[in-house]
Amino acid sequence: MPWYRQVYDWLEHRLQLEGPVMEAMVHPVPRKTASWWYVFGSASFVLLILQVVTGILLALVYAPSAAHAWDSLEVLNHQLPLGWFLRAMHGWGSNFMVAVVLIHMCQVFLFGGHKYPREFTWVLGVCMLLMTLGMAFTGQVLRFDQDAYWGLGIGASIAGRVPFVGGQLVHLMLGGPMINGATLTRFFALHVFVIPGALLAFTGLHLWMVVKLGINEWPMPGRIVRRETYMKEYHDLTHTDGLAFVPLAVWKDLFFSAAILLAVAACAAYFGPFGPKGAPDPTIINTVPKPDFFFLWLYTVLSYLPPNLETPFLLIVPPIAIAFLIAIPFVAGIGEKSWWRRPVAVFAVFFIAVCWGAFTQLGTYTPWSPQMHAWSGAPVPEKLLVNRTPLERQGAVVLQQKQCRNCHELGGMGGQRGPALDDVAGHMTEDQLYRQVLQGGGNMPAYGAALSPAETTALVKFLTTLKVNYAPAASDASRQVADADTGTAATGAR
């Protein structure tokens, strides 16, 4: 007997693991589930292990101290061999993990995998999704840069909206009245011990149930799930038309996991690590904080909500959404599994995906944010200054100097918070321009206090020259009627 066989036997005689492990591995699965659609769960698990391993390696160097965290990331990035690569693997691994977990969830839902008897597997899965998102947020905090600092500020501001206990909640979350070293150590404990510990335990249970209850069979239209008969039907299916999970189904999981790991490594090697961006010094206020990719949609939603809806939305919608996800298998735990017979489910998934995509896309270029440097950095296009009177040109100077460009585009440059001004004279009369500039409105501040009468006149005169080609300028039709009636231009109409 070779020596390794002897070692194995010695261990097995004491561990007694072979029986249960072999049973779990070769358990029969329905033939059609040996499909490329069933690889996302195992890929999520492999990514979780990748995150644990790279996380431990990063923790060898990372200093969870507000004064040193940022420096230790710089050391990882620039001084330690392959430190940058491990940071990149951990960062890209987290992006891939959120993505693969979401795909896994959609696949399970569309295949009816949440139905009897796998309701609790789904509920645990929802909790694991929330933990994954929690890991993504706390991980962003540990990258203790300006985005992390102000991201914490946003988290605190949301917590501060909770009625009655909001104030205390903020102190509890930040570990004090303001973001500081105590905040970072709190989030370190969450990111490194609390959430991953719970996530691993939940993953164990989730997997246990998958093995015990069997993988969800490929849904067929007309094959109805009934609580009384399902277990027997599933048992028959796996024994008449089944395969041993190992090795007949597992090879696809293995291939896909290897491909995912390779993709993470390729992204890590090509794009490099995420940040850290500027040092976490709150006195540097020339910063444009931005959340990580998977929270961009939330950034968009928070920008577009009307002010008076914001607190109710932030406090009521997340609990409802979570309750809704958890309720799905209890409301729709039996019946059809096939997507051909579940149009509402299919529509809901695609609707949410489209909304998420649109919000995320908007979040990548934030048209609602003023561009802080446009007033000094984005010039007035030359052609708009040709053949203009001195007064009109002075108006262009006022336009720049009063930071109008931070919110208004001209020639495709500038902020997008307000409308582009290239054709403003085509749809606003001179009077309307005066009113809009001085009194604001429609989300524009009033500039009456910040402009002298001379500046206002110059600015409006310049604005009246901004129209497309030979299009007519906007005019007030009532004015012409009044003029024709009375012969006096301005007095009557005012």
Partner 1 sequence: MEGPNNPLESEAQVRDISRRTLLMKIGIGLNALVAAAIATPVIAYVLGPVLKRKEYLDWVDLGSLSNFPVGETTLVNYRNPFTNSWDGDTANVPAYVRRTSDTDFTVFAVNCAHLGCPVKWFKESQLFMCPCHGGAYYADGSRASGPPERGLFTYGLKLQKGKLLINAGQMPTLQNQAGLGKTPCSGGDASVKPQIVARIEPCPGTDKSTIG
Restricted to residues 402-421, the positions that interact with partner 1 (CB under 8 A) are 402-404, 406, 417
**Which residues in 355-384 contact partner 1 (CB under 8 A)?**
368-370, 372, 375
Residue 389 in tokens: 């009177």
Among 49, 246, 267, 288, binds partner 1 (CB under 8 A): 288
Mapped onto helix, strand or coil, the DSSP state of residue 40 is: helix
The Cα–Cα gap between 333 and 113 comes to: 9
Residue 154, interface with partner 1 (CB under 8 A)?
yes
According to CB under 8 A, which one of 29, 129, 158, 332 is a site residue for partner 1?
Answer: 158
Closest to partner 1 by CB, 97 vs 482, is: 482
- Amino acid letter, residue 265: A
Map tokens 């209890």 to a residue: 330
Using CB under 8 A, which residues numbered 56 to 115 contact partner 1?
65-68
Minimum CB distance to partner 1 smaller for 179 or for 215: 179
Which residues have CB under 8 Å from 136's CB, separation 6+?
94, 98, 292, 294, 295
- Output the smallest distance, CB 490 to partner 1, in A: 13
Q: Does 305 participate in binding partner 1 (rule CB under 8 A)?
A: yes
Binding of residue 397 to partner 1 (CB under 8 A): no
Rule CB under 8 A: say whether 272 interacts with partner 1.
no
240 contacts partner 1 (rule: CB under 8 A): no
Strand partners, 335: 225
- Decide if 123 contacts 205 (C-beta within 8 A): no
Task: Quote the CA–CA distance of 311 and 305 in Å, as a whole number.
Answer: 10
Piece in contact with partner 1 (CB under 8 A), picked from 150-158, 212-220, 229-237, 353-361: 150-158
Q: Distance between CA atoms of 458 and 328, rounded to whole angstroms?
A: 62
| Of 117, 272, 289, 379, the one binding partner 1 by CB under 8 A | 289
The gap between the terminal CA atoms of the chain, to the nearest Å, is: 108
Residues 19-48 that bind partner 1 (CB under 8 A): none
Angle between helix 40-59 and 250-271 (nearest 10): 40
Considering beta carbons, is residue 187 or 234 the nearer one to partner 1? Answer: 187
Residues recorded for the chain: 494
Using the contact rule CB under 8 A, the part of the chain among 100-108, 232-240, 267-275, 279-287 near partner 1 is 279-287
Q: Is 469 a binder of partner 1 (CB under 8 A)?
A: no
